[in-house]
Structure formats: structure tokens, C-alpha cells
A and B are shown apart, each in its own frame.
Chain A
Amino acid sequence: MKILKSLAVATAVSTLALAAQAETKIGMITTLSGGGAGLGVDVRDGFMLAIEAAGRDDVEVVIEDDQRKPESAVQIADRMIQSEKVDIMTGIIWSNLAMAVVPAATAQDVFYLSPNAGPSALAGKRCHKNYFNVAWQNDNLHEAAGAYANDAGLKNSFILAPNYPAGKDALTGYKRMYGGELAGEIYTKLGQTDYAAEIAQIRASGADSVYFFLPGGMGISFLKQYADSGVDLPVVGPAFSFDQGILQAVGAAALGIKNTSQWNKDIDNAANVAFVADFQAKYGRLPSLYASQGFDTANLILSALDKADVKDQDAFRAALEAADFDSVRGDFKFGNNHHPVQNIYVREVIQEGDVFTNKIIATGLTDHADAYASECNM
């Protein structure tokens, strides 16, 4: 049988002593190896920062790597639920993995708190009382970008995204808020690395701006090539392509670009200031969006544990719904479908010394809820 990567967050002695008492077991499934590992590492580090700071000896976190494969995520989830009897699960980065794991987990009376993915099905028709999303519904940041485009007076956008469900949701989300014309709409190949053909089409289209959703390496490639092409239309995107983890790889090509996010390191509240400083002290790098989401998720769980025992599901659920914790985003509350109702900001990429980072320049949407909340009958 497998040697588990258990992290007992306590001194060994007290863990043993308290093991028989009401211990809360949290299972984290996230991506720690392969190409997308950066995001999972950030969520884990943010989450563990909060757990370790709390210093509670009755909380145990079990962390497992899903390798970004839905099949492995499902099998790890089965094991966590059946063999290790976890009470709460969290950690999944990708929508397709979440869709594979979450419905089965919540149906087996386990709480699931999403620190990143927010597929529309789980916000609408297939919402569940034991499922909470602490990050955003997938469409949110795109909607904010569409709203910002209106505010900025953009009238003729060229939009592109990869040809897969999250890409289609992204463009749908943008169009839901954006009121102008479309100069073009392109679906690129998933994992595509060369965007010369798309950039040529943008140049020829007569657009006044570009909106793109290209997560991970795709976005880095697009931005570098776009900057080098001499097309200098304003670019708007969701935070994913401008986050702390990848911004250094894009470099000056990203400077000045507007992007939408529910969090940034300059949001001025005590929790956030402490989070940014502690994260940097502990891990030697600036926290990313994903780290902030992991941190909030952990603090939400801790706040609910202060109020109720996780074994008392109704009480614990009510404590989660209250969301009575100091979010690094400032105000935080849940809508009827257990998805955040929150401000989404517009950020601009700037340079601080050698480091590329973001600063907030405007609020894109205030107290924004997602479009699927009305379809949810909980």
C-alpha cells in the first residue's frame, strides 16, 4: 500500500494524542507534476501557509498529485473518500478534472471547496449543497473584461480562445457584457504555440482591440509574438495570462496590458498585507492569484471549523455559508449557489524594479454574481 504524503500539521506527539478525538481530515488533489504544475504548487503553498499559521493540531491535510489527468484525479478521490475517510476535499485546478471529481464527491457527503475551477454546470443545474466555490465561476473574469471594454470605449473587438469548453465559455462570458461589434472570433488549437496566422488576421481585421483567453504557455507565446508583430492595438485578458507565476516569462511584452482579477497584491486590507509578506518570507517569491485562492480556501475552512464540527454537516455548511473570515480580497460572500459574489478589478501590468507585476486601476464589476445562479435549486 502506498506511503501517503500526509502532512500532519502539529507536533507529532499531540497528533498522536488527539488522533482519537474529532479530527478533521482534508484531502487536497492538485497538479504537482508535469506542465501545469506551477498552478497547483501555488494553490498548495497558499493553502498550507494558512493552515500552518493556524497551528491547529486537530486538522490533517493529505496532499496528492493528479498529474492533470482526470482519470487519476477520480481514482485519488475514490481513495480519499473510501479509504482515508476525508471530510473535506479541495485543490483541483482544471475544470475538466473538477467535473470528473466533484459530483461524485459531494454525492458521497464530502464537502468540496474549489480553490480554482468554476465550471458553469456546477454553478447552475448541477449545483450541490456540499459544493462551495471560493475562487470564481469560470465566466466571471471574462464578463468583467467585457464590461471594462465598454467602459474604455472599445467598439470593435477581435476575440480568440482555444477550441475547448473553457475557451467557448470565455468568449461567451466576454460577449455577455461587451456591447460593441466583433471584428473577428477565432478558436485556436488547444496547446497551440504559434499565433502568427491569428495575428495576421487581427492586423487585417480593422479591430480596435484584442481580447484573448489563452491559459498557461499558450498565452506566453501569444503575447511575445503579438508584441513582436508591430500590431499595437490595446489588449485585454483575464488574469490567468498575467499572473505572478508567468509574468516573468512574458517580460516587457505584457507591460501596460489591462487584465481582470478578483485579487491583487495591492488590495489594501490587513489580511492581504500580511498574506503577501508572509508568503514572500516563507517561499521567497510573490504570491499569485492561485496562491491567494488557496489561502482564502484554507481560511474559510478554518473559520467554519471554529464554529462547528465538520461531522455535524448542517451546522458546518451553515458556517461555510456565513463565510466569516478575513478574505485577502476584502469583502467576501456567497450567493445562493455557493459561488462568490465579489468585486472584480481591472489591473494593469507594471514593472517594479526587475519584477513584473500588476496594479489595480479600476473596478470592473461590483458585487458581481454569476449568470447561472438562477438555475440552481438547492
Chain B
Amino acid sequence: MSLILILEQVLNGLQFGVMLFLMAAGLTLVFGVMGLINLAHGALYMVGAFAAAAVAGWTGSFVLALIASLAAAAAAGALVEVTVIRRLYDRDHLDQVLATFALILIFSEGTRWLFGSFPLFLDVPDYLSGPVTLPGGIQYPLYRLAIIVIGLMVGAGLFWLIARTRIGVQIRAGEADREMIAALGVDISKLYTLVFALGAALAGLAGALVGAIQSVQVGMGEPVLILAFVVIVIGGIGSIKGALVGALLVGLTDTLGGVFLPRLFALLMEPAAAASLGASLASMLIYILMAAVLLVRPSGLFGGSA
């Protein structure tokens, strides 16, 4: 296996990780500030992808589609927060799990009712399609590079928002002590709606970005949701930095594991069996990673106390 191929696979892992970060950031923010487990986060990812596909279909513009995904997911997030989620903040995790599981059913079948049972079309815009040649002769799809850049920019923006702005101060205060920010005169219910809508918008953006190179279909959010949970648990729940590190770790492990494990087994057995066994182990790898991290650090890499 050549060095170039290895580098390309590292890039792939990176891109996958950045995409996971967009999902995980909202999830971890909502948990950190409001203490809420939101299983319906994947549904917001799906809302973003469907909104983008619909708008791209009407207007033909990818930029408008991305804006639509942000707007639709944020709106759906805000609506759900005001009607359902805010009643769950003082409940235990069990009620949250059940209520947000119910939301998944409503969102999934509601989307199918609106858009039908068949996958939707959403494509990479012309100006981002095709491969570019990177230094060292690596051929790499431009669109995937764009995802890496957009993801890192969003990440940087998020860090800036939390470290430097008034809202960021309020969010950090909310994580530390909920009574205190109410005492400071912050409208806490507005802050919560805002944070939830922000997390939803990030998920929607991820859905739209990924939807252009994957299948836009009902249920697309669920596998990603589970991965995003793995990410925030590895990183430490509530920590944006943890989400970033966790996302990259999961992205790299999953991609490189899928590539190298079958090759490793091929040294020991015949190719078809090695391919099958290696693939089996690779699909379990990130869960093994998560279990291992939690055994060494029970609150994740950057977590405080659960």
C-alpha cells in the first residue's frame, strides 16, 4: 500500500470526523447547557437534508439550499423546543429518552408523508464537483475538501461564540450553574430556545452537506445519531473541544480500521474470509474504542462529571 493511498485515507477519515463534529457539537451543547439527551437530533439532520433537496430542486442553487437547511432545521428545532423539549429539562433522562424517541417516529413518518417513500435528489454543485490534485499527487474530491473547510470554520466560529460573546458567557454560566444565570437577569427560556435552535441548525447543515454525496432518505439520521453519541461520550459530554477530538478520533478509527483490518487479516488467511472477518471487526471497532476510553476515563476525554 502506497503512502499516497494512506494519506488519502487519512483525509477521508478527517472529512468523516469533521462531518460528525457538526452533528456532535449541537448534541453536546444541548446536553451541556440544558442537561438534555436528544435522540431526535438525527431527525433534525434529516430535516436539513430534505429542506436542501427541496430548495435545490426548485431554485437550482446550492447556496440557497444550504441556507434553507440551516433555516428549516433551526425552525424545526425552535418549534420542538417550545412545544415539547422545554417541558423535559427538569425530567430524568428516562423521560427524555422516551419523548425524543417519540419525536423520531413523528419526524420520520411525517417526512415520508410529505415527501413520499422514495429518496430525493441533491447533488454537488458544478463548481465543487470533480477531483483536484493535491501536493504529492493525491487526487481528492473538491467537495470533500470543502466539507473539511466548512466544518473547521463552523468549529472555529463555535469556539469564538462561546469564548468571546455575551451569549457564550451565558452559555458557559448556564453549564456551570443554572440558578445563577437566572439571578443575573438572563431570560433563560429564550437562551435555551436559542441554544437548541443553534444545535439543530448545525445538524441540518451537516445533513445538507452530506446529503449532496449520499442518499437523502427517511431514516438517514439514525446511524449518524448513534455515531454522534459515541463521539460526545468519547470526548466528554458537554465539551465542544471533546466533541471535536472525539469526532476526529471516531472518523479516523472507522475509516482506517475499515481499510487496514481486512489487509491485516489477509496476511493470515485467504482473501474472501479475511475481507469478511476484517469487515466484521471494523464495524465493531468504534464501539470497542468507546468502551476502552470509558474504562480508562469514565467521563470521557474532556468530561467533568456526568
Contacts and interface: CB of A to CB of B under 8 A. Distances in A.
Interface of A: 33-35, 37-38, 41, 163, 168, 185-191, 193-194, 196-197, 200-201, 203-204, 216-218, 220-221, 224-225, 228-230, 245-246, 248-253
A81 B263 CA distance: 49
A34 B123 CA distance: 23
A116 B9 CA distance: 37
Contacts of B262: 186-187
B276 interface: yes
Interface in B1-50: 1-2, 4-5, 8-9, 12-13, 15-16
Identify which of A201, A220, A228, A246 gathers the most chain B CB atoms within 10 Å of its CB.
Answer: A228
Interface string B210-237: 1011111111100100000000000000
B304 interface: no
5 contacts: A189-B283, A193-B223, A194-B16, A197-B12, A201-B5
A174 to B, nearest CB: 12
Contacts of A189: 258, 279, 282-283
B165 interface: no
A200 B275 contact: no
Given A37-B117, A249-B216, 19 more contacts: A33-B112, A34-B218, A37-B218, A163-B280, A185-B275, A189-B258, A189-B283, A190-B283, A194-B214, A197-B13, A200-B12, A217-B214, A221-B215, A224-B124, A228-B141, A246-B119, A249-B215, A252-B123, A253-B123
B121 A251 contact: yes
A156 to B, nearest CB: 15
B110 interface: no
A193 B226 CA distance: 14
Nearest to A288: B118
Contacts of A217: 119, 214-215, 217, 220
A196 B12 contact: yes
B271 interface: yes
Nearest to A220: B215
Interface residues of B, number: 50
Contact of B214 (A185, A186, A190, A221): A221
Nearest to A39: B117
B187 interface: no
Contact of B275 (A186, A203, A216): A186
B143 interface: yes
A248 B117 CA distance: 13
B271 A185 contact: yes
Interface in B176-218: 210, 212-218
Contact of A204 (B5, B13, B258): B5
Contacts of B212: 224
A37 B118 CA distance: 8
**Chain A facing B: main interface SS:** helix
B152 interface: no
Contacts of A216: 215, 217
A300 B186 CA distance: 71
Nearest to B217: A217
A165 to B, nearest CB: 11
Contacts of B16: 194, 196
B281 to A, nearest CB: 10
B118 A204 contact: no
B141 A230 contact: yes
A225 to B, nearest CB: 5
A200 B260 CA distance: 13
Given A168-B276, A200-B12, A248 B121 contact: yes
A187 to B, nearest CB: 4
B255 A197 contact: yes
A229 B131 contact: yes
Contacts of A228: 124, 129-131, 141, 143, 213
B272 interface: yes
A197 B278 CA distance: 15
A340 to B, nearest CB: 26
B258 A197 contact: yes
B120 interface: yes
Contact of B213 (A197, A200, A225): A225
Nearest to A253: B123
Contacts of B279: 163, 186-189
A35 B217 contact: yes
Interface in B124-181: 124, 129-131, 139, 141, 143-144
Contact of A224 (B4, B9, B214): B214
Contacts of B275: 185-187
B181 to A, nearest CB: 39
B259 interface: yes
A200 B9 contact: yes
B215 A251 contact: no
Contact of B112 (A37, A163, A190): A37
Contact of A163 (B9, B12, B259, B283): B283
B214 A196 contact: no
B119 A249 contact: yes
B92 interface: no
A193 B214 contact: yes
A35 B282 contact: no
